Structure 1
């Protein structure tokens, strides 16, 4: 099926359920070359994903109208939010002109939590306290809420709250990219040009853990209050002994490659919040989709589109990945 043709009517369709979609559009799709059940299900998955993004944009508009923040200051990144140790790392990477920058950076980071998984303080405790209070305040409000991703049932898409432009974009561009350029230059760390930021919530009455997976990202920052475990690269471990458990503390972030397999261990009591930033490099993913492992066909889109761009020199052009 050529999805380039199908995309033209996506914005005008009505999607309520699989049965409704099949009844209303199967004949139309058949005329475009979608004739087998597997082809139909491929289209169904793409349409469902597309509609979820449109609904997210609608939720963001509604939230802006009806939600009154508790801590307005946390929506705008300030250097005072950041841990001194993190600022020292950024300063070193930004001014780095030595012969062996990696060795000097490792002295500042001190240890690897797992192979090529780096742990260091990111935020100050005062900011984390206010940030979590803001999340809880939003969670208790009447504002609409969507799932942060397909794996977690509880959490918040921070783009819907308006965090992206004034908080996570400068965090990625000014503070994180100097580190990732040195640590992950082999997988797009020097050209990260978009992101998806969200929080996930673990609670005894909700999600307890997160199964083994890899991220839709070139590089991930995970700031958490619980333990993670890391395995190999995009493969299921042969046994639990192949995984490394990583203890994780408030204010500290774990920086790792998106394709590095990992999971969250179950909580035994209380509630845990994780802040996740999936950072994307269009220069890398335009050549090879990190999820399906195929070369993508790029289609212009008016909504955020998982880090793909039509032109790697023009990051303002949003496109979606549709595979032929």
Structure 2
């Protein structure tokens, strides 16, 4: 992998054990039917039910998102039966001990919300004109109005988004005033935690500083960002990881610099799509480095450099943070952050997840082409097959000439 080769770490969210979603084999630990399966492709003509009024163990939007993937014979079932079926699907990834841990975390979160006094209450409800720069807001609004049957979709989005490396999207997103206010809110929360000597859950298993934004009441605001602003982009530009069905998230801030974390090791995220926005402050260093997208099987394979593949598809890319500017990438895109050598850098991260993608990929025989190594192996098999056919044709031609 060149100088960046090292063992991958899959970062968990710290809320239900700090690891990746348990594999399907963990389903034996809960009482579910073994034949629960979703369709590999959504029924886009079906209008899902609304589950907001039901007492469910998981977010209602997850059920609405999954419903389009239900088997045909389930689509006409009543809402309770569909919810039960989909709960069984979800529970395959959340064994009993994980559910108990999640319950304890919910109690912990409620304790924070009941006692913490927000500094800027306006941050807790999404105000698009205050949060986002005009160019970003205009492109998203135009995309909402666009007739999906028109060819050349996502023109509005592509006008504000650059893709300096395959799968790495960069665009201006947050207003400077919002960034300043979020920084002061995070600092206020940090001081409150220190004053009352309250031990908080850190964002993930690799971060010793920072905070989970969902834990002190910003979850509804982040859900709106995910649903109304990130999902439209992901639907158009990350369809291979079910970008249209993002239905949950883990939102947090990370802090780097003196008396904070220095850097971030080489890893992949526990997400389908990751939003990373720099809030500030003044800093030197801290560049993000990307080294290609990989499935679980190939997460530690070599990075293909510019000398081995075309520059348009090279996997080596470094990005320098700019306050207010967002980076959007697949969660399986391997990356890390170099040391922040001076100053103080704070980034807001939103891991966006799709229940549909996590279920469907468990019974896919092969990973799709977004994995760089899978794609190369597929092309190599095709090359070998063509070479073998050509060799066989030459042999047959020679035999025919001899006759």
Whether 2:284 is the aligned partner of 1:230: answer no
For each residue in 1:110-136, what CA deviation from the matched residue of structure 2 results, as whole angstroms up to 9, or x when unmatched?
Answer: x21321211112210001101110000
Larger-Rg structure: 2
Hey, what does 2:168 align to over in structure 1? Answer: 117
Say which is worse superposed, 146-155 or 240-249, in terms of deviation.
240-249
Counterpart for residue 360 of structure 2: 287
| Of 124-133 and 84-93, the range deviating more from structure 2 | 84-93
**Aligned partners of 1:104, 1:129: CA distance in 2, in Å?**
28
Q: Is the contact made by 1:63 and 1:144 (CA closer than 8 Å) also made in structure 2?
A: no
TM norm structure 2: 0.57
Q: Counterparts in 2 of 1:120-199, with a 5 A limit?
A: 120-141=171-192, 142=196, 143-165=198-220, 167-199=221-253
| Distance in 2 of aligned mates of 1:256 and 1:4 | 30
Aligned length: 254
Q: CA deviation at 1:203?
A: 2.5
| 1: CA distance, partners of 2:257 / 2:107 | 28
Identify the structure with the greater helix proportion.
2
1:75 to 124, 149, 153: 124
Paired residue secondary structure (1:232): strand
TM-score, with length taken from structure 1: 0.71
Trace 1:233-252 onto structure 2 (pairs within 5 A).
233-234=293-294, 235-236=299-300, 238=302, 243-252=316-325
Query: 2:136·2:160 contact (CA, 8 Å) conserved in 1?
Result: no
Distance 2:232 2:138 in 1: 12
**TM-fit CA distance, 1:255:** 0.8
Displacement of 1:288 in angstroms is 2.9
Alpha-carbon displacement from aligned partner over 1:192-233 (angstroms, at most 9, x marks no partner): 111111111113233111111111111110012442111111
Q: Distance in 1 between matches of 2:133 and 2:170?
A: 13
**Residues in 2 aligned to 1:222 and 1:144: alpha-carbon distance in whole angstroms:** 25
The alpha-carbon deviation at position 158 of structure 1 amounts to 1.3
Cα deviation, residue 105, structure 1: 3.3
Name stretches of at least 5 consecutive residues in structure 1 with no aligned partner. 9-45, 295-324
* Deviation for aligned residue 1:93: 2.0
Q: Distance in 1 between matches of 2:358 and 2:342?
A: 39
Residues 196 and 277 in structure 1, CA contact (< 8 A), matched pair in contact too: yes
- Misfit runs of 4+, over 3 Å: 1-8, 46-55, 102-105, 235-242
> Cα 1:136–1:237, aligned 2, differ >3 Å: closer, same or farther?
farther
Higher strand content, 1 or 2: 1
Q: Give the match for residue 142 of structure 2.
A: 92
Query: Which of residues 160, 182, 188 in structure 2 aligns to 1:108?
Result: 160
Equivalent residue for 1:304?
A: none
> What is residue 62 of structure 1 aligned with on the other side?
111
What's the secondary structure of 2:183's corresponding residue? helix
Greater relative contact order, per chain length (Cα 8 Å cut-off, separation 6+): 2
